Amino acid sequence: MSKEIIVNSTLNEARVAVLENGNPAEILIERAHSKNVAGNIYKGRVIKVLPGIQSAFVDIGLSKAAFLPAADVYVENGERVSFLEAMDGTQDEADVDTPVPEPKEVPPIEQLLKEGQEIVVQVAKESIGQKGARLTTHLTVPGRYIVLMPGYEHVGVSRKIEEEEERERLRLILKEIKKDGMGLIARTVSAGHDREEIVADLDYLERLWAKIMDNMAASKAPCMIYEDHGLIFRILRDTATADVSRIIIDNKADYLKIKSFLREYMPDMNIEVSLYTNDIPIFDYYNIEIEIGRILDKKVWLKSGGYIVIDQAEALTVIDVNTGKFVGKRNFEDTILKTNLEASKEIAWQLRLRNIGGIIIVDFIDMAKEENRQKVLKTMDLELKNDRAKASVVNISPLGLVEITRKRVQESLTRSLSEPCPYCEGRGIVKSKLTVCYDILREVRRIAPFFRGKKVYIEAHPDVVDLILDDEKESLDEIELMMDIDVEVMPNETFHIHDYEVTPMD
């Protein structure tokens, strides 16, 4: 599969698109006023210990206090390495090689932390929705080929490296070069690379860890003591593999930095780096801007004429599959199968493109044959293997529901690019014109007994006013006659559909 990395870099924003066979597979955005904090290490201060939920809130200098569960508090000789089950420093799974004892019971949070205590933590998950960032004291420092885990003795290999011979080769290298008190995990990109390259990466990480230790000793909480690379260089470190043929960037300063970064840290990578100089904006030229616009759409059309609808809540995403305009050629079951198979591929693509994480429920069209259900599941599993984020699929239910979990470290792209509608407050619906019309009439009836013989002014959106004066004129006349009031209705172009004012005049 041919990959290209397209970078649009400006003073206030960096945008990166990973193209696979010419189509955007991942789009990542980082803005100057809302930089990514996942992976950063802070010295924080415990501000609240909550035994009831086995957690603590820690001030690390962000706008919201961060959240630290008891299970993520490092205990020396605690032999608790459950946090390794789904990490290799980015989003791969890791297979811990050395024998791991059964996790011990987590001590009560009040025995681990005290209010006012200073503690060194790493951001495991960005602030999402109303929740603050999630922290861990299990510190990890990712390099190009390996991840350094200070305080541990364990050795692991990313599960995305499937060839057993290669896994064993990497294990042996890590065991040979590992120092006491420094656990190591081989990342997916380490496959095929020799011992010297891995040793060089370890040397770099050890020097970096020494600097972090110095910062720990010299800093006062709350403060940041290590900042992970910015978006552009994280992408180079985590995504630039042998199948990436070209990196194209439209900022000369960053172009020179990328060239220097590749030369110093990734000399083995034969990647062409090009400076984009065309007058047409780079994301327009590669048809990426139009894809970003489509990311905000709930409905995604399939080539067959079917479509999927994506609805995102804070912790759950629901995807509905429909045949739409597709009527098939042979029989109903074949039509459903073809739509579901096509939807499986599109859903896997959209999860990556929109960076949707957490729990995803897919409502496939119900299939009568078990073999067809298995085909859909197999297709979904296969497509999700291309995803850098850990994703797993649960068996399809008799109702055609499939549960997918996908690792979530930061907000989805949809939520990063948007904010709740100020009119509907994120509900996605507003009152109809007729409902607003009846609300107004009820309000007039409510106040009329207190203002008999007076005039009442109604001010509303022009469409609502038309409805009152045309369709509801009899109701208005009845109120005026029964309540002995005079009602005057006036349109206001600045009002939204659900805005109105009912004002009695003394």
Instruction: Give dist(CA 376, CA 400) in Å, integer.
Output: 10
178, 155 Cβ separation under 8 angstroms: yes
| Residue length of the chain | 506
DSSP character at residue 6: E
- H or E stretch covering 231: helix 231-239
- Quick one: 3-33+232-289 is in which CATH superfamily? eRF1 domain 2 (3.30.420.60)
Q: What is the mean pLDDT of the chain?
A: 87
The reported pLDDT for the residue numbered 181 is 87
Domain spans, the chain: 3-33+232-289, 43-226, 298-417, 433-505
**Residue 101, preceding peptide bond in cis (omega within 30° of 0):** no
And the tokens for 506? 């003394």
DSSP of 286-304: TT-HHHHHHHT-SEEE-TT
How far apart CA 504 and CA 506 sit, in angstroms, is: 7
* pLDDT tens string 302-358: 998 899 999 988 778 999 999 888 776 667 888 889 999 999 999 999 999 999 988
- The answer to whether residue 100 scores a pLDDT higher than 60 is no
Using a pLDDT cut of 70, give the percent of the chain over it.
93
Q: Rounded to an integer, what distance in angstroms lies between the CA atom of residue 334 and that of residue 456? A: 63
Q: Which residue has the higher pLDDT, 45 or 368?
A: 45
Per-residue pLDDT tens over the stretch 113-154: 999 999 999 999 888 777 789 999 999 999 988 999 998 888
- Tell which wins on pLDDT, 425 or 3: 3
Site of tokens 């205590």: 117
Give the span between the Cα atoms of 150 and 116, in whole angstroms. Answer: 25
Q: Which of 15-19, 90-94, 121-125, 464-468 has the lowest mean pLDDT?
A: 90-94
Pairing of β 55-59 and β 358-363: unpaired
pLDDT at residue 438 in the model: 94
Number of H helices, E strands in the chain: 13, 25
pLDDT for the residue numbered 91: 44
The CATH number assigned to the domain with range 43-226 reads 2.40.50.140
Specify the pLDDT at position 397. Answer: 79
- Strand-pair partners of 135: 123
DSSP helix/strand/coil, 8: strand
What number is the average pLDDT over the span 391-420? Answer: 84
3-state secondary structure labels for all residues of 359-376: EEEEECCCCCCHHHHHHH
Residue 65 has pLDDT above 50, yes or no: yes
Of residues 222, 246, 56, 22, the one with CA closest to residue 132: 56
pLDDT tens for each residue of 344-362: 999 999 999 999 988 999 9
Report the C-alpha gap between 149 and 159 in whole angstroms.
Answer: 17
pLDDT score at 99: 43
Helix (H) / strand (E) element for 307: namely strand 307-312
Average pLDDT over residues 101-105: 54
Q: What is the pLDDT of residue 447?
A: 92
CA-wise closest residue to 306 among 322, 319, 320:
322
Is the pLDDT at 174 greater than 90? The verdict is yes
What DSSP line would sit under 183-215, residue for residue? EEEE-GGGTT--HHHHHHHHHHHHHHHHHHHHH
Write the pLDDT tens digit of every residue in 222-281.
999 999 888 888 888 888 777 888 999 999 999 999 998 888 877 777 889 999 999 999
Secondary structure (3-state) at 338:
helix
Pick left, alpha or beta for residue 181 (phi over 0 → left; psi -120 to 50 → alpha; otherwise beta): left
Please indicate whether residue 274 or residue 400 has the higher confidence score (pLDDT): 274
- CA–CA distances in Å: residue 287 to residues 16, 30, 416: 13, 20, 20
Identify which has the larger pLDDT, 300 or 153: 300
CB atoms within 10 A of CB 397: 14
How many C-beta neighbours within 10 Å does residue 465 have?
21
Residue 104 pLDDT grade (very low, low, confident, very high; cuts 50, 70, 90): low
| CA 471 from centre of chain | 47
Percentages helix, strand, coil for the chain (3-state, rounded to 5) are 35, 25, 40
Assign 57 a pLDDT band (cuts: 50, 70, 90). Answer: very high
Q: How far apart are CA 160 and CA 274, in angstroms?
A: 30
- Please state which CATH class domain 433-505 belongs to: alpha beta
State the CB neighbour count (10 A cutoff) for residue 418: 12
Average pLDDT over residues 476-499: 92
Summarize the confidence of residues 152-164 as an average pLDDT: 88
pLDDT of residue 419: 81
